[in-house]
Every structure is written in structure tokens, then in C-alpha cells.
Amino acid sequence: MKKKGFVLLDRDGTVIVERHYLSDPDRVELLPGSAAGLRQMASMGLGLVLITNQSGIGRGFFDETRVREIHQRLQDLLAVEGVELDGIYFCPHKPTDDCDCRKPRTGMVEKATKCLGFDPQKSFVIGDKPCDVELGQAVGATTFLVRTGYGAKVATEGSTNPDYIVNNLVEAAEVIQKIIALSSQRFSCGDAARSAVSGQLSAQAAQVLPLLDLANFNCPDLNG
């Protein structure tokens, strides 16, 4: 079935519990609300893609085979919950390798868009670190910082400027649903709507955005 859009998800601290350089498939643990949020996104017709930096490979902590085992375990856990991922991309390099795929660089998203055939500007990027938000901004996506993993701390620091800050993937799914429901023309006025929303974001940094205000936003493309 053709997807209506794609959600690009960070792995550690976003979908599964953050473990410092996770190297054991048995320690893969879904975050509370992960499966439910992903299920809701899939039910909206959205594709789900994992985009993850795994420099533990380049640092020699574990190899690619181990990462694939971890991803198999993750897919097994999600399958039990009725969730299927459409793709998984990982960067095996360490920061000093200066590759083009380590987030916030866009190599993995470029690969995903080529393989799966979608417009990154119409996608949603969700993660718990500034590099996730910056990746999303670099490809023109709508960006979410989630307050799981390192996200709670990052949100407090204000070191990055996502379109939305949410507590978990269930909240992310709800926001995405509202954005999509808002208007089929949302993407033509997305920038204006988003800048209106990010004004609110700085004023109410600690709160989930009231989406009703976004719904009341007058899109110039629709009214002018």
C-alpha cells in the first residue's frame, strides 16, 4: 500500500530504552508508549523508518552483525505489538570518520528517500537529541524532540529548536494526526504555520503545544 508520508525515528532513547552503546539483543526494551505510538502512526498510513547512529561499530565495541541482531530483536518485539518497520538505516562510523551519514548529516535520509520513494519535506523526524532535530531541519521535515532518553535534559537546556516537544511517541502520533487533519494543504503553508507555532514553543517551552491554536492559524495560502 502506498504510504501517505513517512516518520523517521531515532532508535535509542526514542523507540527503545537508551543503554550506553547497546550491544546485547536481550537488553532491547521498548519505551512505554513506543509500540502504541508507532501503531497509531502506521494506522494513519504513515511509513516508519529507523535512522540511527551506531558509532559503537566504528569504535570497535561491537560489529554490524550484532547491530543486525539487535534490530531483529527490536522488530520481533514490535511484531508482537502489531507494528512493522518499513526500513532501518544505521551509520557505523565514528565522529572522526567524517562520513556523510552520521546524524545530523543527511546520508541515511537520502538513502531512505531513494529506496522508499518519499519527499523528506513531507516527513516527520523524531528523536531525543539535537542531532535528530538538526537532521530533520536539514531535510526540511517537521521535527519532534521527545522527552525520553536524553530528551528531557535536552528540552531543558534549550540547545535545539524543534517544531514540537512531546513526552513520548503516543503524544507524537497525536500531534501528527492533528497536523494531517488540519489541512491537506498543510504542506503549502507549513513554514508559516510552523513559525507561528515555534513562537508559542519558546513561550511555553515546558508544555506540549496546544494544537488548537495551530488549527486556528490563518494560512495565507488558503486565505490570501
**Window 85 to 114, contacts with Mg ion (CB under 5 A):** none
163 is catalytic: no
DSSP classification of residue 129: S
The residue count for binding Zn ion (CB under 5 A) is 5
Asked if 125 interacts with Zn ion (CB under 5 A), we say: no
Report DSSP letters for 53-120, one per residue.
E-HHHHTTSS-HHHHHHHHHHHHHHHHHTT---SEEEEE---GGG--SSSTTSSHHHHHHHHHHT--G
Residue closer to Zn ion (CB basis): 41 or 88: 88
Select the residue interacting with Mg ion from 128, 134, 163, 171 (CB under 5 A).
Answer: 128
Q: In terms of CB distance, is 21 or 157 closer to Zn ion?
A: 21
Selected range binding Mg ion among 11-19, 24-32, 101-109, 184-192, rule: CB under 5 A = 11-19
Between residues 77 and 99, which has the closer beta carbon with respect to Zn ion? 99
Q: Is 12 a catalytic residue?
A: yes
**With binding defined as CB under 5 A, does residue 10 bind Mg ion?**
yes
Nearest to 5 by CA among 48, 51, 50: 48
Does 175 bind Zn ion (CB under 5 A)? Our answer is: no
Options 65-73, 107-115, 127-135, 161-169: segment touching Mg ion (CB under 5 A):
127-135
Please give the Cα distance from 194 to 197 (Å, whole number): 5
DSSP secondary structure code for residue 161 in this structure: -
Among 8, 38, 49, 101, binds Zn ion (CB under 5 A): 101
- Three-class DSSP category at 220: helix
Which is nearer to Zn ion, 113 or 168 (by Cβ)? 113
Task: Specify whether the backbone of 207 is left (phi greater than 0), alpha (psi in -120 to 50) or beta.
Answer: beta
Dihedral pair phi/psi, residue 142, rounded to 5°: -85, 130
Residue appearing with cell numbers 532535530: 133
What binding mask, one character per residue, do residues 54-93 give for Zn ion by CB under 5 A, x or -? -------------------------------------x-x
Please count the other Cβ atoms lying within 10 Å of the Cβ belonging to residue 75. 16
Active site residues per annotation: 10, 12
Query: What does the binding site for Zn ion look like in residue numbers (CB under 5 A)?
Result: 91, 93, 99, 101-102
